[in-house]
Structure 1
Amino acid sequence: MNQSPPEDDRLAGLPPRSRIAELILGSRPHRDTFAGWQHYRARRGQLMPPAALTLAQWKTTPLPRRSDYDLYRRLTNVNLPLQATPMHDKVTELIQLRLDGNTMKQDDPTLAGVLVSGWGGYGKTAAVCSSVAAFEDQWRDLHSSLIPGSIPGTRDVHAPVVYVSTPVTATPKSLCASILGFFRAEVRKSATFPELVRLVADSFHDHGVKALVLDDISRLRMHRADDQDVLDLIRAFMSMDVTVILSGVNIPGTGLLREAKWDKKTAQWILPPLEATRIHGREVTQTEHRFELVEIDRFRYTTPRQIRAFVSHLRGIEAHLRLLNGKPGMLTDGTMPEYLMRRTGGVVGLLGRLIEDGAQLAMNTQQETLSETLLDGIVLRRDDPDQPPDEPAIPAEPPAAPQAPATSEKTVPRKRRPRNTVFDDHGPQAEAAG
């Protein structure tokens, strides 16, 4: 006869209540500071779910530990793990190739950069941050957490990666200040722009920076002269032995870095020369073509391969959830995958929000499982019939070039009627000649 394991064995991996309270109530530094980035890098993916208990096992657990268990599984259910997806893998592969190659270059004066574009909720920031954090782990292991060629007697921190959010209404000086603020460096209010650029260059060198991530880059608008100058400054960073990685919403559509066109033959975005350079009277340089654009898409549900990828993602979420009546197939059996795809459109952020809210609702109502009926009670942005769905990040077919309407041989173009010049004033010289 099978007996349930002792309570101490079932909850052996459950943290004490003080640790659970620390995870929930503890403050986290902002990721756009050195301390905040290191906090993220060191702790990403470390939140492990507690042991899965059935409803019967939960009822036999002492009340104090039962309360701790419920609190910890709530924390677990709203922190879904970052999983490898086809979209995430595409971004990771490009960033890894670019960083691995650029950090080994010896004489290249300008390093190629990466653009990561996608719509809101597609997981751009999560994909970029996890990729560069993994690079920093490898880079620190390679250098044993020491700055190569550091100056004796200094205490510069080693920061292979700098993560900064693009300032709202950015200017070249505010961008420099944000980068220096990553290190909490003191900057004089009277510092000139050349001084700030020199401080940034020195910080990159002294701290061993190899990757600069500028998130929310789509805040820039090219109709503003300051934003055009910011873009020039970003390209200048590429000559400081730093790989620049830009992330933003719908970069090709915003015209941020030129109005890109989708090339079906090469299956990539083609960036034409930047119009803004004409304003400053400079010709297009080789730096203009040093960015490679990668789109992060949402899940699709058309081909068998796409369906398998989506179901595999749901299976990973299902294994992470802790619901007392949850069972294998809760998210993958029957019509649930189609339901989740219909509700979220395959957008990773919306899918996570729907499932996280559903898990909380399942605990609050004591249903302890996810069903279509329960999830129907949760409102998402896509449920608004007046809200159009996101456009595909990569069009299936490039837009056809507009063609002039066919004209028959008998069709004669209309001549524009000449302007009446009877009342024109031709000046005194014309009167004298008359």
Structure 2
Amino acid sequence: MSHDLPDGLPSRERIAELILRPRPHRDTFDGWQDFRARRGTLRPPAALSADRWGLLPPNRRADYDLFRRLTNVNLPLQQTPMSRKVSRLINRRLNGNVLNQDDPTLAGVMVSGSGNHGKTATVSSVTAAFEDTWLDLHRHLNPNAVGGTSDLHAPIAYVQTPVTASPKSLCQAILNFFGPTPGSLTLPQLVRQVALSLRDHGVRALVLDDINRLRMHRQDDQDVLDLIRALMSFQVTLVLTGVNIPGMGLLREAKWDPGARQWVMPPLESTRVHGLEVTQTERRFEMVELDRFHYGTAKEIQAFTDHLRGIEVHLRLMNAEAGMLTDGTMPEYLFRRSGGVVGILGRLIADGAQEAMDSGQEVLDEDLLDEIVIGREDRPTDTDREAEPPSSRAERRRGRNTVFDDRGTQPGTATG
């Protein structure tokens, strides 16, 4: 018997399943498939007023509150002007590479940015969407399958760079995506196994996340860079993500090609990556920076406000009204608190929504959000508050960006 309500509230069993289900990490095949299948499927319950909520049976009120808490802390991934730029580049590179029938070495993509800017979420989303399209194109069959085998079909392989990286540990991390790896393999054997696995599983793109874990002053990390460059000869597109890629030394030997607008990596000259037969074709990467929101022009302000509106319609607070996050000085306040960083903004709003439910306020405002601490530098200290005149806080809030204001006709200006 279903206990779903007409307004779409799932049964208690379904809510429990959503909360308690296993969450395999996406750096395994099963985890990646789970992420790909479930991304974007969580839908908020119908918005109920306090009066309508009061008409529910007591046990269903608890179910409703639990489900809306679940949705309030799982804010939707939205396309922003910054993430669209990244998505377009990755899509262009993936589609161009899978159609390329001549070049033995496929160009790759580097996605750089500071922490909490949404690099992993953006890259995972766009590559998962590519996998959906690729599987549909081939009716979920591996077009390169080897006869007589039953290899997994994995158009996308997502791998986290090992904390202490070496050629062997990176090879093992790639192989672990597909399942347990045989023990006691030499580096040449591991490299060969990686090449075979990428081919046999039909991998079209290899995502290496947290590439900033490499420290290029270490010999092992330089060997890993050689391995990464060699992987570009395996007919897969490399997508590298990390914090401050230009500053970590990964591109130290690369040269900028202004015509192609790409970083050109020199060909391998060492034999540190044993067992590989790689071409001497130049290895190319396009690098894109995933930036934060800015708030200096009308276009930038509109983009930030649109993002807030997308969050607002997802939240479920019973006293919330349209414009809760977008009217008055709230956009400026949220931008100041978050610095325009998507991850920090999401954490501030998600934590604020929980506090609004727990306190019974059931709406977000600046006073409530002032109590949410997301970083030591984010909130004035008690000493600062004591030294601040009582009126200054209100004056500070009244200060706002006036770029959208209609100032009307100026005195003495002709109107007709």
TM interval, shorter chain, is 0.7 to 0.9
Question: 5 Å matches for 1:135-214?
Answer: 135-189=130-184, 191-214=185-208
The aligned residue for residue 291 of structure 1 is: 285
Matched, 1:54 2:54: no
**2:51 equivalent to 1:63:** no
Larger radius of gyration between Structure 1 and Structure 2: 1
| 8 Å contact from structure 1 (residues 257, 274) kept in 2 | no
| CA drift at 1:255 | 1.8
Q: Tell me the residue number matched to 1:372.
A: 366
Residue among 333, 342, 366 paired with 1:339: 333
Query: CA separation in 1, counterparts of 2:334 and 2:380?
Result: 17
Specify the SS of the correspondent of 1:91. helix
When residues 159 and 322 of structure 1 are mapped into structure 2, their CA distance, relative to the original with a 3 A threshold, is same
CA contact (8 A) 1:122 1:349 kept: yes
2:147 and 2:280 map into 1 onto residues whose CA distance is 38
SS of the equivalent of 1:320 reads coil
Structure-2 change in CA distance of 1:31 and 1:114 (3 Å): same
Local SS of the residue matching 2:233: coil
Query: Could you tell me the percent identity over the aligned residues?
Result: 64
Secondary structure of 2:317's match? coil
1:321 matched residue in structure 2: 315
Q: Name segments (4+ residues, structure 1) moved above 4 Å.
A: 8-11, 259-263, 265-268, 270-280
Q: Report the AA paired with residue 337 of structure 1.
A: P
Contact 1:258 1:272 in 2 (8 A): no
Give the corresponding residue for 1:39: 34
Offset at 1:26?
Answer: 1.6
TM-score by length of 1: 0.81
The answer for the alignment partner of 2:304 in structure 1 is 310
Q: 1:219 aligns with which of 201, 213, 218?
A: 213
Q: Do the aligned residues in 1 keep the contact of 2:155 with 2:201 (CA within 8 Å)?
A: yes
Partner in structure 2 of residue 105 of structure 1: 100
1:69 Cα deviation from its structure 2 partner: 0.3
* Structure 2 Cα separation of the partners of residues 11 and 351 of structure 1: 33
1:301 to 1:10, Cα distance in 2 relative to 1, 3 A: farther
Tell me if the contact between 1:354 and 1:378 (Cα under 8 Å) persists in the aligned partners.
yes
Q: Whole-Å Cα distance in 1 between the matches of residues 168 and 286 of structure 2?
A: 26
TM-score, normalising length from structure 2?
0.85
Q: Separation in 2 of the partners of 1:276 and 1:127?
A: 31
Determine the C-alpha separation between the residues in 1 that align with 2:243 and 2:67: 34
CA contact (8 A) 2:71 2:315 kept: yes
Secondary structure, counterpart of 1:326 in structure 2: coil
Could you tell me how far 1:30 is from its partner in structure 2?
1.0
Rounded to whole Å, the distance in 1 between the matches of 2:369 and 2:269 is 51
Query: Equivalent residue of 2:99, what SS?
Result: coil
Question: 1:177, 1:187 within 8 Å by CA — same for their partners in 2?
Answer: no
Of 236, 255, 261, the match for 2:230: 236
TM-superposed CA distance for 1:258, in Å, is 1.9
2:348 touches 2:374 (CA, 8 Å); kept in 1? yes
Give the drift of 1:266: 8.9
**Unaligned residue ranges in structure 1 (runs of 5+):** 1-7, 387-434
One-letter amino acid of the counterpart of residue 99, structure 2: M
State the alpha-carbon separation in 2 of the partners of residues 154 and 92 from structure 1.
34
Q: Structure 2 vs 1, CA of residues 310 and 110 (structure 1 numbering), >3 Å: closer, same or farther?
A: same
5+ residue gaps, structure 2, are 273-278, 382-416
Number of corresponding residues: 372
Q: Deviations over 1:97-133 (max 9, x none)?
A: 0000000111211000000000000000000000100
How far apart, CA to CA, are the structure 1 residues paired with 2:246 and 2:61? 51
**Which whole-Å CA distance do the structure 2 matches of 1:187 and 1:129 have between them?**
28
**Residues 116 and 245, structure 1, Cα contact 8 Å, conserved in 2:** yes
* Distance verdict in 2 for CA 1:142–1:323, change over 3 Å: same
RMSD of aligned Cα (Å):
2.5
SS in 2 for 1:170: coil
The whole-number CA distance in structure 1 between the counterparts of 2:264 and 2:106 is 19
The alpha-carbon distance between structure 1 residues 378 and 359, as it changes in their structure 2 partners (threshold 3 A), is: same
C-alpha distance in 2, partners of 1:271/1:279? 23
1:26-76 deviation line (CA, Å, top 9, x unaligned): 221111000000000000000000000011111121111111000000000
* Counterpart AA for 1:109: P
Residues of 1 paired with 2:325 and 2:233: CA distance?
Answer: 49
Does 1:300 pair with 2:294?
yes
Partner residue of 1:357 out of 337, 343, 351: 351
Distance 1:55 1:26, change over 3 A: same
CA distance change for structure 1 residues 214 and 295 in 2, over 3 Å: closer, same or farther?
Answer: same
Structure-2 residue corresponding to 1:124:
119
Within-5 A mapping of 1:402-413: none
CA separation in 1, counterparts of 2:167 and 2:271?
17
Q: Give me the whole-angstrom Cα distance separating, in 2, the residues matched to 1:345 and 1:259.
A: 33
SS at match of 1:156: coil
Q: Which amino acid aligns with 1:159?
A: A
Indicate conservation of the 8 Å contact 1:298/1:346, yes or no: yes
